[in-house]
Amino acid sequence: MTPRFQAPRGTRDLLPGDLGRWQWAEAQARGVLERYGYGEIRTPLFEDFELFARTSGESSDVVQKEMYRFKDLGDRDLALRPEFTAGVMRAYLERGLGGRTRIHRLWSAGPVFRYGRPQKGRYRQFSQINCELVGSPAPGADVEMITLFVDLYEAWGFRDLTVVLNSVGQPASRRAYGERLRAWLAPAHERLSADSQQRLVVNPLRVLDTKDPGDLALFHELGDVPRMLDAIDEADRAHWEAVLAGLDAVGIRYEVDHGLVRGLDYYTRTAFEVHDRSLGAQSALGGGGRYDGLIAELGGPPTPGVGFAIGLDRAMLVLEERGTAAPVPPAGIYLAAMEATHAAALALARELRRQLVVELDVEARGFGAQMKAAGKSGARLLVILGEEEWKRGEVVVKDLASGTQETLARPGLAEVLGARLAQAPPPTGGGAKGTEKP
């Protein structure tokens, strides 16, 4: 039967079985971020549309085609966030963070929304981890960001990542570079895709972002793509070289990619990404860069910043495809009761659950059904509240991994069970049987 309602196109349900890996990854990331001294910031899922339009740049796909824009009942022009940076910078200004200390290290995680064409690794709701280092123009800030970026992937077991880097200069050098690109493409202008022709008018750099095979073949045919790095000024070049030297010192592997231009308009100087080719067309795992003009663009005092966003969905896809095992949840207890001890079992379960993983039959079914459920539950220990034993202040505990059985006293039960669960299971089938039968 086809269900009447389906998840909206481009969205997914993550079920308990999927989420083990996600939660583990999020916990690892949180650890890395805390050790780097980043503080978490949570901003609204939606903001004024205008905020995103200003920060992403009118020419970006995000603004042109991908925004979930809506009017609320008060006729406000709003949009679901298509990325984090705009909202974080809005909060930075609105809450006066800049007046407290000069440098802020901030991170966020959660869903973002873009109305793209869904495919493998591309969804309309997806999750990002986002980091910002606001307040420092120094190349050391870029180096810290890129190092943190790589260390997050490493904490998830990624190895030998190569970061691709470029400098996108400053607005002035970008304009000059844009002219060079236009001149370079002029002889083939008519053969460019409609999208690229339009980009050439609004923001020529973004032509290099094209995925159109015809455009790419044309670039190849024209040869000698003008390089942004040849167009940047002396100060930008010094910054660029200092970033590379810093990365060398830290031991981060990188490659210069002259075609790397980030999709959003307010990047300055350093731009970086990391890719995993196993993902196919949607290979970007994450990316970021410096955005020294952004805060001023929002009406704040000129304040430099650098940041990145990591796409969690794609990182999780790679881990899954590589067979990186999801972490095993902690072993637990199945609490089985007789009719006469069911009420006591409910109270005992509540008590044990303050420390331990406990399952019990909420339907108070017969003992046989409970034994079957215990077998399926994945619990390590079966704790049986037999009527006679319970009256004596005891329970029978069976290790389902080894089959060994013992009788334990009610007082201090949680501690003893906790200790049993912490021990490695004894070899299957072996070991002395307990003296009491259930």
List contacts with ligand AMP (CB under 6 A). 83, 114, 116, 121-123, 126, 128, 263, 284-287, 309, 311, 313-314
Name the residue with the smallest CB distance to ligand AMP. 311
Closest approach, Cβ 291 to ligand AMP, in A, equals 12
C-beta of 134 vs 264, nearer to ligand AMP: 264
Nearer to ligand AMP, 83 or 399 (CB): 83
- Structure letter (DSSP) for residue 393: T
CB of 261 to ligand AMP, least distance (A): 11
3-state helix, strand, coil in the chain (%, to 5): 40, 20, 35
Of 121 and 293, CB closest to ligand AMP: 121
- Tally the residues of the chain: 438
Burial of 79 by CB count in 10 Å (0-12 exposed, 13-18 middle, 19+ buried)? buried
Q: Is the dihedral of CA 104, 109, 112, 117 positive or negative?
A: positive
**Closer by beta carbon to ligand AMP, 123 or else 254:** 123
Smallest distance from ligand AMP to CB 153, Å: 11
Helices (H) and strands (E) in the chain, counts: 15, 16
The C-alpha atoms of residue 226 and residue 390 are separated, in whole angstroms, by 82
Q: In the complex with ligand AMP, which residue's Cβ is closer, 87 or 311?
A: 311
**DSSP 8-state symbol, 15:** P
- Six-digit token pair at 1? 């039967």
Tokens of 155: 């904490």
CB under 8 A, 24+ apart: contacts of 419-422: 420/381, 421/330, 421/331, 421/332, 421/333, 421/356, 421/380, 421/381
Q: Name the minimum Å distance from CB 119 to ligand AMP.
A: 9
Shortest Å, Cβ 84 to ligand AMP? 9
Of 62 and 185, nearer to ligand AMP (C-beta) is: 62
Shortest distance (Å) from residue 195 CB to ligand AMP: 17
User: Which CB atom, from 178 or from 287, has the smaller least distance to ligand AMP?
Assistant: 287
Closest by CA position to 311, among listed 295, 292, 287: 287
**In the 8-state DSSP scheme, what is residue 167?**
E
First to last CA, the chain: 45
User: To the nearest whole angstrom, how small is the minimum distance from the Cβ of residue 284 to ligand AMP?
Assistant: 4
Query: Which structure tokens are listed for 337?
Result: 């009761």
